[in-house]
Amino acid sequence: MNHYLVGRSSLLGLLVACVLSAALPSPVRAADAVFPFGSLLGLVPPPGMTPSNAFPGFEDRKNDAYIRLVMLPGKAFAELEQTMSSDALRKQGMEIEKRENFEIANGKAILLTARQHAQTMTIRKWLLIASIRGVTAMVSFETPDKPTAAYPETAIRAALASLTVRTTMPVKEQLALLPFKMTELAGMRLVRVVPGVAVQLTDGPRDTLEAFEQPNLVISVGPGGPQRVGDRKHFARTALNNLPPIKDVRIVGSEPMRISGQPGYEVRAEGKSPQDDADIQIVQWLRFGTGGYLRILGIAPKQNWIPAFTRFRAVRDGLELR
């Protein structure tokens, strides 16, 4: 799974906007942790909290209690450690009561206890930022600012301390993060998913798109697209400029076509591997819809092109928009 890079000036804003902070692994067994659907971060929630269907985290709507999880690149921790000052958060309406180092296994973390005044109530928050297993984890535990027997501070700290990171996510969960359904993978291996945007499949040991010795397929969505039928050829050929670094690319054919009953456009091309000048074949299908388009890009060595193309087409024909 790819980690999103967040701009330098937006890290603190993201923290406040999402009402989040970070967390830590724990002495509990990783097998005890619960992972919200589609999240690499998980923890052992206190009794009464269940995974949320609305955001990555947990909730107890009856008691207005929430745990929110966000994962950032590992290098984000150092910047957040410096920018998460009391003065900076005060400008965002937060009153920091305490900042402390929070001991965790396999990393380090900071815990901030805060209050934030909303329109109709005051919220109590335990905000944590942790560097754990190569990523920066941000966790916010939020409750109304009133004593509750359901969530004493000992239980809150225990939950935060149980945070962990799973190294893999079930394929079904990853594919569910896409804006389209994939009913056919044609025996190809899932490499990565960019939630809401794209997926990469391959059939070989390497995960990079520059592994030109093995088939690679990338499916993505984009906004807009040509409004007029006559503009689709130029649009499709221009889209083919966005390729991995392949030498001597030249288009060998292009034509409009129907893809799963929708208007589409196919472009065929060929090129050479920059590593060894091996011949490479390329196909790009664009499927146009209302307000956006679907792009399917397949790349494979020429010597294995026929079976690769057949599999690419099977995956293409198994796509359904959500």
How confident is the model over 99-140, as pLDDT tens digits? Answer: 999 987 777 999 999 998 877 788 999 999 999 999 999 999
What mean pLDDT is predicted for residues 168-180?
A: 91
Q: What is the mean pLDDT of the chain?
A: 86
Strands of 225-278 (E only): list them: 247-259, 262-272
Per residue in 63-90, pLDDT tens?
Answer: 999 999 999 999 999 999 888 877 877 8
Task: Output the DSSP codes for 108-137.
Answer: EEEEEEEEEE-SS-EEEEEEEEEEETTEEE
Q: What is the pLDDT of residue 8?
A: 32
Which residues, other chains included, contact 3 with Cβ-Cβ below 8 Å and sequence gap of 6+?
Answer: 71, 72, 73, 135
Higher pLDDT, 20 or 261: 261
Identify which of 289, 288, 272, 268 has the alpha carbon closest to the alpha carbon of residue 280.
Answer: 272
C-alpha–C-alpha distance, residues 92 and 16, integer Å:
7
205 three-state secondary structure:
coil
CB atoms within 10 A of CB 216: 25
Q: Which of 2-11, 113-122, 140-149, 308-317 has the lowest mean pLDDT?
A: 2-11
Q: What is the dihedral of CA 72, 75, 76, 81, to 10 degrees?
A: 140
CATH architecture observed for domain 8-165: 3-Layer(aba) Sandwich (3.40)
Partners of 311 in beta bridges: none
Model confidence at 159, pLDDT cuts 50, 70, 90, reads very high
Q: Among 23-37, 112-126, 153-167, 264-278, where is mean pLDDT lowest?
A: 23-37
User: Is CATH 2.170.190.11 the classification given to domain 171-321?
Assistant: no
Q: Centre a 10 Å sphere on the Cβ of residue 168 and count the other Cβ atoms it contains.
A: 9
Q: Do domains 8-165 and 171-321 have the same CATH topology?
A: yes
**This prediction's pTM:** 0.68
Tens of pLDDT, residue by residue over 287-298, are 998 889 999 999
- Four-point Cα dihedral 83, 87, 93, 96, nearest 10: 90
Closest CA to 96 of 16, 31, 18: 16
Task: Determine the Cα angle at 44 with ends 38 and 46, to 5°.
Answer: 120
pLDDT in tens, 232-242: 999 999 999 88
Domain extent listing, the chain:
8-165, 171-321
